[in-house]
């Protein structure tokens, strides 16, 4: 999947355009205020008793314009906040997108280094998603992705981050991990949560996924490396069968006899 377009680019471009429009509105309001202030100064220079009414009128206009400008500014701030948050979320699932995920990973790594802790990344790929799209339609496929997002989020802690990485791939950041075995327990919970039957496109289906796991600092020191290793481990788990998970450099787990299979280490070629 190297070379694929970044799904955050359209959202970011829209955010930049909206920011430009809002900034133009604020600049226009400031221009009006400057003009009114100049009128006040001119009125004061030539004011006589007969012109007091003119100054009062200009002052009233200035107050109204100032209130309107403040309202516009407050609205602009609120809209900018909405735009900023929407640019960090996947449009379909409302999960953090890839950009926000990388920010969270960087924060998690900094904290883990300071406190000598661990974190883990779980790379998750749904099994049979293309078949669902092909047989039940894209609307059913979208429903599956939304359901997957909900079930993944329900199986982790509040300090963790569930992200849609792209297509039917998700990445979970497990922060403040005491031991790698904690990641295995989460993988089991995710598998169980996904497997609960659900009505999709008029059919009852149970979802399965392949999960690859990498751990800081055992496997890598930066987000890109940890994601790549978890991705490779996921492919290794997928080759061993449905519904398995695998740690980088260790056998895939999920079915009897999995513990005697060769370690998952060599990353497969990405299309």
55-69 pLDDT, tens digit per residue, is 667 777 777 777 776
Per this entry, what is the length of the chain?
271
Judge if 148 and 189 occupy the same domain: yes
Beta-bridge mates of residue 37: none
Residue 90 scores a pLDDT above 60? yes
User: Residue 185's CB: how many other CB atoms inside 10 A?
Assistant: 10
Q: How far apart are CA 241 and CA 137, in angstroms?
A: 25
Judge if 54 and 123 occupy the same domain: no
Judge if 137 and 251 occupy the same domain: yes
Residue 254 scores a pLDDT above 60? yes
Residue 194 lies in a domain: yes
Judge if 112 and 162 occupy the same domain: yes
Please tell me the total count of domains within the chain: 2
Higher pLDDT, 84 or 162: 162
Q: How far apart are CA 155 and CA 172, in angstroms?
A: 11
**CA 153, 155, 157, 160 torsion: positive or negative?**
negative
Judge if 223 and 183 occupy the same domain: yes
The percent of residues above 90 in pLDDT, for the chain, comes to 55
Tens of pLDDT along 94-142?
999 999 999 999 999 999 999 999 999 999 999 999 999 999 999 999 9
* Residue 238, domain CATH: 3.30.70.270
Checking 132-138 for CB contacts under 8 A at 24+ apart, the result is: 132/200, 132/201, 132/205, 136/200, 136/201, 136/202, 136/203, 137/201
Judge if 233 and 173 occupy the same domain: yes
Beta-bridge mates of residue 198: 205
Residue 80 lies in a domain: yes
Extract the tokens encoding 200.
């999709």
User: Which residue, 22, 27, 147, 132, is CA-closest to 78?
Assistant: 22
Mean pLDDT of 20-37: 80
Extract the tokens encoding 118.
């661990």
Residue 211 lies in a domain: yes
Extract the tokens encoding 151.
């079930």
Residue 70 lies in a domain: yes
Residue 143 lies in a domain: yes
- Is 72 catalytic? The answer is no
Residue 270 lies in a domain: no
User: Which residue, 76, 52, 56, 75, is CA-closest to 64?
Assistant: 56
pTM listed for this prediction:
0.67
Judge if 59 and 105 occupy the same domain: no
Judge if 120 and 46 occupy the same domain: no
Judge if 138 and 188 occupy the same domain: yes
Judge if 77 and 112 occupy the same domain: no
Pairing between β-strand 245-247 and β-strand 209-216 as defined by DSSP bridges: parallel
Please compute, for residue 250, the number of CA atoms within 13 A of its CA located in the half-sphere on the CB side.
19
**Residue 83, pLDDT score:** 46
Q: With 0-12 CB in 10 A as exposed, 13-18 as middle and 19+ as buried, what is 34?
A: exposed
What value does the mean pLDDT of the chain take? 82
Residue 46 lies in a domain: yes
Residue 235 scores a pLDDT above 80? yes
Judge if 66 and 127 occupy the same domain: no
4-13, 18-27, 122-131, 187-196, range with the lowest pLDDT: 4-13
Contact between residue 151 and residue 193 where contact means Cβ atoms under 8 Å apart: yes
Catalytic residue among 90, 168, 219, 231: 168
Higher pLDDT, 41 or 134: 134
Domain range holding 157?
98-260
Contact between residue 236 and residue 254 where contact means Cβ atoms under 8 Å apart: no
Judge if 127 and 253 occupy the same domain: yes
């Amino acid at each position: 999947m190297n070379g694929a377009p970044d799904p955050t680019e359209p959202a970011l471009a829209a955010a930049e355009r909206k920011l430009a429009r809002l900034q133009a509105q604020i600049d226009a309001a400031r221009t009006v205020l400057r003009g009114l202030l100049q009128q006040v100064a001119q009125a004061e220079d030539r004011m006589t008793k007969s012109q007091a009414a003119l100054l009062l009128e200009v002052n009233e206009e200035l107050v109204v314009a100032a209130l309107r400008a403040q309202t516009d500014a407050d609205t602009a701030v609120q809209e900018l906040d909405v735009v900023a948050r929407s640019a960090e979320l996947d449009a379909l699932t409302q999960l953090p997108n890839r950009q926000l995920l990388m920010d969270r990973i960087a924060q998690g790594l900094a904290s883990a280094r300071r406190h000598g802790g661990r974190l883990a990344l779980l790379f998750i790929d749904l099994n049979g998603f293309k078949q669902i799209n092909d047989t039940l339609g894209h609307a059913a496929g979208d429903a599956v992705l939304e359901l997957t997002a909900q079930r993944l989020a329900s199986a982790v802690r509040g300090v963790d981050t569930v992200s849609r990485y792209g297509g039917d791939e998700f990445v979970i950041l497990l922060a403040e991990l005491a031991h790698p075995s904690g990641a295995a327990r989460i993988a089991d919970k995710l598998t169980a949560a996904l497997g609960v039957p659900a009505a999709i496109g008029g059919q009852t289906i149970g979802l399965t996924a392949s999960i690859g796991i990498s751990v800081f600092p055992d496997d890598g020191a930066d987000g890109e490396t940890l994601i790549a290793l978890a991705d490779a481990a996921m492919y290794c788990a997928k080759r061993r069968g449905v519904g398995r998970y695998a740690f980088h450099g260790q056998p895939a787990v999920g079915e009897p006899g999995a513990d005697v299979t060769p370690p998952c280490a060599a990353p497969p070629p990405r299309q």
